[in-house]
């Protein structure tokens, strides 16, 4: 299990939506859509909460979206002290669903709720276990 | 059949390096027994409200029941993060209402400071979704900071409004001998304090603390025999909301609080204007402002104005957190819900001393778990 330390390791490769991590490594951001009722999920889900179906199809995301809210964390939890302060943004994605990630390349004071941002796949370190995996940029 | 509160006890909140979790639990339990003049054999069960991950001791109900001398009566733990205490109250309420037990002790207890602040931040960050959120180093203050930024964007709420909540709660905390901080602060001090998670500063955040509070609940018949001044639970309501903020329709309100309060008002047959005094979950100053709105004390978006006008102060529309709130008392997560209820009982009995709201007949508590995954709203009547 990759979730050895609470920190910058994502354990998605060990879930029913493992394909998300594989695609992300190939620079693609993917969500799921229920084959039965059409409900769209980002973050991806393997099971539909709406109609309870477990038949999903994958669809690709542009990563484009609008900033819903943000914060800059100064008091960091264990495992993140080395990168504090860091800014976290939440965006509503153009293709549906919502994403939370670090904001990179934009000063916190330049962030405005409603502005357009793009989630970009990013491999943090070249290791066997896929590390955190997308960031928000202009 | 009504359910009444016949006994209360409240330990000192703070850094309690001087005791174990069971020793901490003993203090308010003893006080509550003395308060209602019951003996241990008169109590049918002990329900413990606590968030287990902060304790070095595992399965704390066992060790607590032993230390209190409450064997062989049943005991178990209820967990709903920061609302674990209220979850325990509702569990006991349901047991009595359903006729399973006649008299139940509810004990909210938490010893948090066995861990360091970064460790607590890490644990609390995991109250967010660990798969899609915590991996980015989200923290508890971070989530409420994101609510605050959105509230400011949608409704023009200002950092000053947040600081006013802190100033009010510290002013009242100074009148509570059981509070962690018993000192008033200035607006300037709050607004210049260290940044924790933008826009929340140190004085926008409650402090982790150790503490315990106890309530003894009884069915109507027994409550009337035990006490001349039982306080009745007029409503015990609760609702949930998604764990992940990525699946919330709104970030300026807690849907669980809106739903729980709707149920509570219906159950008690009252409206927000009938509430004389309330304790709301001010884990962060923005949380109190959102609570004003979610509970219908003011219109949506007008929470900032509500504090600015002093409507939540003694003498205002509804005095809120006159015991100092989580802000001043400190927040031993499992004890908070029971601490709120103890304050309401004191207020409705007329025993709240300097912070007494005169003639208070209806009290309300709003206890939130996590970042709004759980919310419990209780209404109390004389």
DSSP line for B64-95: HHHHHT--SS-EEEE-BTBTHHHHHHHHHHHH
Q: Kindly list the catalytic residues of B.
A: 82, 331
Is residue A3 in a domain?
A: no
Is residue A7 in a domain?
A: no
Residue B63 structural domain: 3-115+209-232
Tens-digit pLDDT profile for residues B63-72: 999 999 999 9
Q: What is the ipTM of this complex?
A: 0.93
Tens-digit pLDDT profile for residues B126-165: 777 888 998 888 999 999 999 999 999 999 999 999 999 9
Same domain, B321 and B282: yes
Rounded to the nearest integer, the mean pLDDT of chain B is 96
Number of domains, chain B: 2
Query: Which token pair is B105?
Result: 């002790």
Which strands make up the sheet holding A56-61, listed edge to edge? A40-41, A29-34, A56-61
Same domain, B71 and B183: no
User: pLDDT category, A2, cuts 50, 70, 90?
Assistant: very low
User: At A54, which CATH number?
Assistant: 2.40.50.840
Amino acid A12: pLDDT? 79
Is residue A66 in a domain?
A: yes
Same domain, B298 and B184: yes
Contact B288, B321 (CB under 8 A): yes
Please list, in sequence order, all residues whose beta carbon lies within 8 angstroms of the beta carbon of residue B66, skipping any fewer than 6 positions away.
B22
Number of domains, chain A: 1
Same domain, B191 and B339: yes
Nearest CA in chain B to A73: B197
Phi then psi dihedrals of residue A70, to 5 deg: -160, 170
Same domain, B272 and B317: yes
User: pLDDT category, A4, cuts 50, 70, 90?
Assistant: very low
Which of B135, B144, B147, B148 best tests the A interface by mutation, with the highest count of A CBs <10 A? Answer: B135
Amino acid B83: pLDDT? 98
User: pLDDT category, A9, cuts 50, 70, 90?
Assistant: low
Rounded to the nearest integer, the mean pLDDT of chain A is 88
Residue A79 structural domain: 12-137
Rg (CA), chain A: 16
User: pLDDT exceeding 70 applies to what percent of chain B?
Assistant: 100
Count CB neighbours of B135 within 10 A: 27
Q: Is the pLDDT of residue B92 over 50?
A: yes
Is residue B122 in a domain?
A: no
Structure-derived torsion over alpha carbons of residues B163, B168, B170, B171, reported in degrees to the nearest 10:
140
Same domain, B217 and B346: no
Signed CA dihedral, B149, B151, B157, B163: sign only = negative
B196 interaction partners in chain A (CB closer than 8 Å):
74-75
User: pLDDT category, A127, cuts 50, 70, 90?
Assistant: low
User: At B65, which CATH number?
Assistant: 3.40.47.10
Is residue B120 in a domain?
A: no
Is residue A32 in a domain?
A: yes
Question: Any bridge partners for residue B240, and if so which?
Answer: B374
Nearest CA in chain B to A12: B131
Is residue B248 in a domain?
A: yes
Amino acid A81: pLDDT? 83
Is residue B80 in a domain?
A: yes
Same domain, B53 and B95: yes
Q: Is the pLDDT of residue A129 over 60?
A: no
Is residue A5 in a domain?
A: no
Same domain, B64 and B180: no
Which strands make up the sheet holding B211-219, listed edge to edge? B75-78, B45-49, B103-110, B211-219, B3-10, B231-240, B374-381, B362-369, B277-280
């Amino acid at each position: 299990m990759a979730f050895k330390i609470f920190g910058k390791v994502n354990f998605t490769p060990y879930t029913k939506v493992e394909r998300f991590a594989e695609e992300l490594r190939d620079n693609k951001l993917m969500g799921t859509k229920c084959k039965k009722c059409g409900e769209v999920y980002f973050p991806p889900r393997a099971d539909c909460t709406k109609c309870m179906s477990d038949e999903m199809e994958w669809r690709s995301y542009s990563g484009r979206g609008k900033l819903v809210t943000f914060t800059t964390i100064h008091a960091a939890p264990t495992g993140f002290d080395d990168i504090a302060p860091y800014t976290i943004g939440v965006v509503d994605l153009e293709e549906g669903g919502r994403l939370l990630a670090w904001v990179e390349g934009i000063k916190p004071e330049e962030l405005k709720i409603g502005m357009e941002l793009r989630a970009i796949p990013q491999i943090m370190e070249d290791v066997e276990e896929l590390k955190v995996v997308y960031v928000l940029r202009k | 059949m009504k359910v009444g509160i016949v006994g209360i006890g409240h330990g000192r909140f703070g850094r309690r390096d001087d005791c174990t979790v069971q020793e901490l639990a003993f203090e308010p339990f003893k006080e509550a027994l003395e308060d209602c003049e019951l003996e241990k054999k008169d109590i049918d069960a002990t329900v413990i409200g606590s968030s287990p991950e902060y304790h070095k001791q595992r399965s704390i109900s066992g060790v607590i029941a032993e230390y209190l001398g409450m064997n062989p009566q049943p005991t178990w733990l209820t967990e709903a993060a920061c609302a674990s205490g209220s979850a325990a109250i509702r569990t006991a309420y349901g047991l009595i209402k359903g006729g399973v037990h006649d008299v139940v002790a509810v004990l909210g207890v938490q010893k948090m400071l066995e861990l360091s602040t970064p460790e607590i931040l890490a644990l609390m960050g995991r109250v967010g979704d660990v798969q899609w959120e915590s991996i980015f180093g989200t923290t508890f203050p971070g989530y409420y900071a994101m609510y605050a930024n959105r509230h400011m964007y949608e409704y023009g709420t200002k950092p000053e409004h947040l600081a006013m909540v802190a100033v009010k709660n510290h002013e009242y905390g100074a009148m509570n001998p059981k509070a962690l901080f018993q000192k008033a602060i200035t607006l300037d001090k709050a607004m210049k304090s260290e940044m924790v998670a933008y826009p929340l500063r140190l004085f926008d955040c409650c402090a982790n603390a150790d503490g315990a509070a106890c309530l003894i609940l009884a069915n109507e018949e027994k409550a009337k025999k035990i006490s001349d001044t039982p306080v009745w639970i007029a409503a015990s309501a609760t609702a949930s909301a998604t764990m992940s903020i990525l699946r919330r329709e709104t970030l300026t309100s807690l849907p669980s609080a809106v739903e729980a309060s709707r149920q509570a008002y219906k159950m008690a047959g009252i409206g927000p204007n009938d509430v004389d005094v309330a304790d709301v979950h001010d884990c962060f100053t923005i949380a109190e402002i959102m609570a004003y709105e979610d509970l219908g004390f003011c219109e949506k978006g007008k929470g900032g104005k509500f504090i600015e006008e002093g409507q939540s102060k003694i003498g205002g529309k509804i005095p809120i957190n006159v015991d100092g709130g989580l802000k001043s008392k400190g927040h031993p997560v499992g004890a908070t819900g029971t601490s709120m209820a103890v304050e309401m009982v004191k207020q409705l009995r007329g025993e709240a001393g300097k912070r007494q709201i005169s003639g208070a007949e209806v009290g309300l508590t709003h206890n939130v778990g996590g970042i709004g995954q759980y919310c419990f709203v209780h209404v109390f009547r004389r």
